[in-house]
Amino acid sequence: MKFFFLRSLRVRLLLLVLVAVIPALGAIAYTASEQKKIAVAEIQRNVLRLVEFSTHEEEQVLQGTRQILIVLAYYARKADKNPSDCNAFCADILKQFKRYANIGVVKPSGDVFCSAIPLQEPTNAADHGSSALWQAAILPSVIIKSAGSPENRCWC
C-alpha cells in the first residue's frame, strides 16, 4: 500500500525513462560546463596575445618617434638660421609618417621655430603651458644641446 502509485504501468515507464535520461542530462551539463571553461581559457590566451602584440607595436612606434625626433633635432641645429628649410624638412617627414598630426621645433624661448603645418601667426609654446593638449604634444619630445648654441625642443 505504501507504493500504490508504482502499480501503474504509465508511472513505471515514466520512471524508467527518467532513470535513463537523467544521467545523459548530467553528462550534457558537465560537457557544456567544460566547454565553457575551455572557451574562456582560449579567449584569455587570445586577449593576452593581443595585448603583447599591441605592447610590442607601441614600443616600435615610440622607438621610431625617438629616432625621428633625434634626426629632426640635429637637422634643426644645423638649420638654426633658416626656418623655411626646417619647415620643408618637417613637412617631408610628416608626409612619410602620417600617424603624426604635426612635427616641429620649439626654441628655448618657447617660440615655434619651424612646423610641418604652416602656422597662421607666430606661436609661443609658453603661451600654451597650461593646455593639456599642448602639453601632450610637447612632452614626448627630444631636447638636443650643442656646444655654443641653445637647446631646441622637437616634437611629433
Q: Which of 140, 141, 105, 99 is nearest to 123 (CA)?
A: 105
Q: What are phi and psi of 96, to 5 degrees?
A: -80, -30
The tens digit of pLDDT for each residue in 86-132 reads 888 889 988 988 888 888 888 777 788 888 888 888 877 766 554 44
- Domain limits, the chain: 41-155
C-alpha distance across the termini of the chain, in Å: 92
d(CA 68, CA 73): 9
Predicted structure pTM score: 0.55
Residue 101: strand, helix, or coil: coil
What the block records as the C-alpha cell of 37 is 571553461
Give, in words, the CATH class of 41-155.
alpha beta
